[in-house]
Amino acid sequence: MAATRGRPGASATAKEPAEAAPAPVAAPAKREPAEGAPAPVAAPAKREPAEGAPAPVAAPAKEEPAEAAPAPVAAPAKREPPRTMRDLRLATESRRRAAAPKPMENPLREGLRLERVPDPAAFVLFGATGDLAHRKVIPALFQLWRTHLLPHEFTIVAVGRRPYTDEAFRSEIKESLDAFSRVQPVDQETWDDLASRIVYHQGDFADNGTYQRLSERLEQLDETCGTRGNRIFYLATQPSAFAEIVAGLGRVGLDHERRDGGWRRVVIEKPFGHDLDSAVVLNREVGKVFRERQVYRIDHYLGKETVRNLLVFRFGNGIFEPIWNRRHIDHVQITVAESIGIEGRGAFYEETGASRDFLQNHLLQLLSLVAMEPPATFEADALRDEKVKVIRAIPEMTREQVAHDVVRGQYGPGWVSAKPVKGYREEPSVNPASETETYVAARLTIDDWRWSGVPFYLRMGKRLPKRATEIAIQFKEVPHQLFKDSASDPEPNLLAMRIQPDEGIMLRFGAKVPGLGVDVRNVTMDFTYGSAFSVDSPDAYETLILDALLGDASLFTRADEVEEAWSIVDPIIEAWSEQTVPDFPNYEAGTWGPEAADDLLAREGRRWRRI
């Protein structure tokens, strides 16, 4: 009777279980919700119609997933803590992949280039009608745009006092690009594309309304150009306007960074202060508005390709670091020579001079890169920490040391590149009795374990025979002259790094002249960027502006670095104010400076390297 009761209930579904006959136990479990309790009793009777068929043998494979349910039992094994290094590494990598957020990027940019492109931003250029903006800043921005290193969502807001319309200002900028752009001719299509992103904002730097209107305009540009609240303020103005502009930006909140994005940075040109006291005051005024990580003090020499390569040369090659110290190096010479005069900047140079214009920044920056210890990481603060240590290790000069180890000069009339030139006192806006130096040479030392006893000779001058910047590392002579019968005495080994022009590195060493006997001559191994890489090096301003947009402060000076540099130069200027004025002019244009500069080295048995 049990079998009879089972058949009527199973008649509607007899065809389906016929194929799944070998799974009698699992089948009733599935039918229980629909058939009720009697179904399990009837299940065995349903095997009889399908006893001779081979199909039931294959059926269990279909039902295996139901019996494979215990697979989750293996899950606890995965949750067990890793016991081997391999398990630990795989578990760590798995967590990192799971936690890594997916970046919101434009998929069309993928695979197009390896260079990092800055965030969308508004580039606010104060002093946009000035010489620096037209000669350096805007041509650099154009080259970055031409080489696709700027984001599509980018706009330039030019701020100046003169009345211009957007079109009139763009027309004037185009003329400057035709004259000063690094790549000629200027591509018209590229210029049209960039010009559509340039707007002019008129206003006086002392007027609070200028900054309020600027803030409102930047908000509008965020909506129309997609700049996302990112702003970089570039101060290409007279140094006297720096504090005023920074304060104006702070009053309307243009320094505030937003939590949902929108960074704010300020780039300040040199000179940063006129002396130590003014530099401290300016740092304080800037610090009231911007945090130190938002401030980028620019020194264009640090953006030059060979200066940047100096770090790679020193810390990317194992053969130089062991000999980069007082045991192997006799002295170091750093030369910055310019064939030009003051280029119509008489009023500016009268207040600045070579000591403030070059010694306080360019020369000391190059010295710190040569002498610094290897940083722990290749990050901005790590690099700048080591540079500051070097500058702090330079002892402050007494008045007697200044008189003995520092030479100043001023050029008179002469010839440069076969052309007659005026003397400094004959330049426009220069006092005919001026006591401003156009040349400075100094002997400095560094009191630390690496460089103790090694003199660093620095020199800079206007109206010298040629334009050249070079760092020369003079190694010590061999302890014993083995080849005494040589026709000439080979000079000590020399490593020269050419910053400009013809950027490259030269190593001088002795070699035997082919033939009978032993005649040793000096030979050189010369590397130049142009021939080695066949690429055009970017201008320093292109490098530094791009780094500022990317938020990389490695090549910019920090507040403490600026103040430490002034603490070296200030005593020199103060000592000069108490000394008898030299017989200016004391060197002719087209020569390598005053004779006293040669005596600075000659008294120690050395001489300036011929460049």
Pair (352, 440) in one structural domain: yes
Across the range 574-581, mean pLDDT stands at: 91
Averaged pLDDT, 66-76: 51
394 neighbors 444 (Cβ within 8 angstroms) = yes
Tell me which of 245, 269, 293 is where a domain ends: 269
Share of residues in the chain with pLDDT > 90 (%): 59
Could you tell me the two tokens for 286?
């800037």
**CA atoms within a 13 Å half-sphere pointing along the CA-CB vector of 286:** 27
Same domain, 331 and 449: yes
> Cα separation of 144 and 522, whole Å?
43
- Per residue in 267-299, pLDDT (tens digit) is 999 888 899 999 999 999 999 999 999 999 998
Q: Is 308 in the same domain as 264?
A: no
Residue 37 has pLDDT above 80, yes or no: no
**Is 237 part of a structural domain of the chain?**
yes
pLDDT of 590 reads: 94
* pLDDT tens readout for residues 351-360: 889 999 899 9
In this structure, is residue 488 part of a structural domain? no
Q: Is 280 inside a domain boundary?
A: no
Which of the two residues, 302 and 21, has the higher pLDDT score? 302
Q: Is the pLDDT of residue 45 over 70?
A: no
440 shares its domain with 338: yes
Q: pLDDT tens digit string along 554-569?
A: 999 999 999 999 999 9
For residues 312-334, average pLDDT: 93
Is residue 384 helix, strand or coil? helix
Residues 375 and 434 in one domain: yes
Q: Are residues 321 and 210 in the same domain?
A: no
**What's the chain's average pLDDT?**
83
Structure tokens at 344: 């119509």
Asked whether residue 90 is assigned to any structural domain, the reply reads no
SS3 56: helix
- Give yes or no: residues 132 and 240 share one domain: yes
- Is residue 540 situated within a structural domain? no
Q: In residues, how long is the chain?
A: 611
Domain contains 82: no
Helix or strand (DSSP H, E) at 577? helix 559-578
- Output the six-digit token pair for 442: 């100094």
What's the number of domains the chain is made of?
3
pLDDT tens-place string over residues 101-111: 544 554 444 44
Question: Rounded to an integer, what distance in angstroms lies between the CA atom of residue 536 and that of residue 529?
Answer: 9
pLDDT value at residue 308? 82
Cβ-proximal residues to 103 (8 Å cutoff; 6+ apart), any chain:
none
Rounded Cα gap, residues 390 and 366, in angstroms: 11
Token pair in block for residue 6? 């089972």
What confidence score (pLDDT) does residue 401 get?
A: 95
pLDDT at 24 over 70: no
Q: Are 434 and 410 in contact (CB under 8 A)?
A: yes
Beta bridge partners of 557: 297
For residue 354, the model assigns a pLDDT of 93
404-430 tens-digit pLDDT: 999 999 999 999 989 999 999 999 999
Please, what's the b/e burial string for 477-501 (b: 16 or more CB within 10 A of its CB; e: otherwise)?
Answer: eeeeeeeeebeeebeebbbbbbbbe
CATH of the domain at 136: 3.40.50.720
| Per-residue confidence band for 13, with pLDDT thresholds at 50, 70 and 90 | very low
| Residue 78 pLDDT > 60 | no
Comparing 575 with 307, which gets the higher pLDDT?
A: 575
pTM for this entry: 0.78
- 227 and 343 share one domain: no
Residue 286 lies in a domain: no
Q: What is the pLDDT of residue 264?
A: 95
CA distance 171 to 173: 5
Judge whether 227 and 221 are in contact, CB under 8 Å.
yes
Q: Considering 246, 269, 292, which residue would you say is the last residue of a domain?
A: 269
The verdict on whether omega for the bond into residue 585 sits within 30 degrees of 0, i.e. cis, is: yes
**Per-residue pLDDT, 560:** 94
With a cut of 50, say whether residue 166 has pLDDT above it: yes
Please tell me which residue, 333 or 351, carries the higher pLDDT value.
333
Q: Provide the annotated active-site residues.
A: 362
Q: Would 80 be classed as within a structural domain?
A: no
Q: Which amino acid is at 89?
A: R
Amino acid making up residue 191: W
Q: Residue 487: pLDDT band by 50, 70, 90 thresholds?
A: low
User: Which stretch, 93-97, 499-503, 512-516, has highest mean pLDDT?
Assistant: 499-503
Q: What is the mean pLDDT of residues 197-211?
A: 93
Q: Which residues is 296 bridged to in the sheet?
A: 267
User: Are 255 and 372 part of one and the same domain?
Assistant: no
Domain that holds residue 21: 2-68
Is residue 137 scored above 70 in pLDDT? yes
* pLDDT band at residue 117 using 50, 70 and 90 as cut-offs: confident
Three-state SS for 60-74 is HHHHHHHHCCCHHHH
Q: What sign does the CA torsion over 111, 156, 182, 557 have?
A: negative
Annotate 296-352 with DSSP letters as a single string.
EE--GGGGSHHHHHHHHHHHS-TTTGGG-STTTEEEEEEEEE-SS--TT-HHHHHHH
Q: 585 or 45: which carries more pLDDT confidence? A: 585
Confidence grade of residue 533 (pLDDT, cut at 50, 70, 90): confident
* Residue 281, helix vs strand vs coil: helix
Same domain, 460 and 593: yes
pLDDT at 530: 77
Determine the Cα–Cα distance for residues 139 and 179; give it in Å rounded to an integer.
10
Q: Residue 155: beta bridge partners?
A: 122
Q: How far apart are CA 593 and CA 597, in angstroms?
A: 7
For residue 312 the two structure tokens come to: 């790679």
Strand duo 329-337 + 456-461: pairing: parallel
The residues near 596 (Cβ < 8 Å, ≥ 6 apart) are 407, 409, 586
Q: Are 447 and 595 members of one domain? A: yes
User: CA–CA separation, 577 vs 581, rounded Å?
Assistant: 8
Tell me what pLDDT residue 204 has: 92
